[in-house]
Structure 1
């Protein structure tokens, strides 16, 4: 379900730290999110891709978040890569990846609309990441992909194995990674009005994202986000 990732495809990685983040990443193409065009972003270890500023917060909050920056949250939770895992990212104009994205995004477009033909993508992957305070080897793997043709913009969320929902600072069990305040998935526009919560967010059901879909492909979700309805 995941697109290729890791050093072998030219990915960079964030530092192994608690609540870490990438440096500001300047994009080869503008990415429109809820009606605003952005030229840079941050990949945050805690399961968030943010525009404008980093998001080190480790407690997932329900959207909308007044006064908060716009961001994509594939799985916002208290990740600690000191205890295991990597957070990878890259921009890509690789024709093979773009062709696969076009194919995978086709079901996300209403009948009659032109099919997506992305010319640029940004891939962020959380590979086997551990949770804060973990007393187990449970890990999560998931991915957020931004894709654009310069006009229409999409986000794909891909979920591999999700074994935990909550770190101990959010009242999770150190041995199971469950309980407390579970992970949040969705979009915060930054305008206090527009947002989207993926069904199951901040409930134990968020762990089943890897088995559910809005495309009919278990573990994959896709959304058009330039003018999100």
Structure 2
């Protein structure tokens, strides 16, 4: 790389402008509907806060165990059994046995910016769309969605931020009463780390980066999305295991990964992609 190319790359990474160089995507086709117009609730404007305990009308099976309640945690985690206020992610598997899915576990601060939405739903139009998606990605698994839970982190800021950077990502849990799936959608990822996790308050990078994956709670079974807890996680909007950039889909009652996961390019390799 020339010195000019290196300068441009650093500028793009630090400014968050790298996302504008990604392949064009359709927001509406990636993200499931969310927000106040959909009847969503919001988690409190509280650093390291969580939703109240959400009782589910349909049990959700995760790694073979049925759960009847969950929490939506501001720091990018949907957890069963207990809240997760921890802001610096630990590698999976966790020694303390907490079962949860981490769409993007990092130090979110919705006091500084953004909202965290969630709802349980049996809306017919959404269930039809979810069913169509799952049938496409898992054609050998008979499935018709009867229930869904949608959690969306909308342009959320990072702790200690000196910028207006925000991340938008989503987790959808769905079940037919027996078989369960989780869809993770990543629309816009502009930061990886909060200042309390040794990140740079001016960039939202460095320190201990975000973690994305699944922890069963039995200290043995887990899955880490490629790029987790590395600088490459900022490129998760370009990766997938179902050939849809920014989307990862998993059968989680008896955990399975479909397709061939694509790895996020390393930050050092971004120059080979675009410059």
Q: Tell me the TM-score normalised to structure 1 length.
A: 0.97
Matching residue of 1:96 = 125
For structure 2, the 5+ residue unaligned runs are 1-29, 257-275
Q: Quick one: distance in 2 between partners of 1:216 and 1:208?
A: 15
Query: What SS does the corresponding residue of 1:222 show, helix, strand or coil?
Result: strand
Q: Is the 8 A contact 1:107 1:215 kept in 2?
A: no
Structure that is richer in strand per residue? 1
Query: Within 5 Å, which residues of 2 pair with 1:71-220?
Result: 71-109=100-138, 111-114=139-142, 116-220=143-247
The question of whether the paired residues in 1 share the 8 Å contact of 2:135 and 2:141 is answered with no
Q: Which has the higher helix share?
A: 2
Q: Which residue of 2 is the match for residue 223 of structure 1?
A: 250
SS at match of 2:130: helix
Deviations 1:178-202 (A, max 9, x none): 0111000000000000000001100
Larger Rg: 2
Greater relative CO (CA pairs within 8 A, separation 6+)? 1
Structure 2 Cα separation of the partners of residues 8 and 151 of structure 1: 30
Q: Is residue 38 of structure 2 the alignment partner of residue 9 of structure 1?
A: yes
SS of residue paired to 1:42: strand
Q: 1:62 aligns with which of 62, 70, 91?
A: 91
Where 1:103 maps in the other structure, the secondary structure is helix
Deviations 1:140-182 (A, max 9, x none): 0000000000000000000011000000111111011001110
Gaps of 5+ in 1: none
* Alignment size in residue pairs: 227
SS at match of 1:159: strand
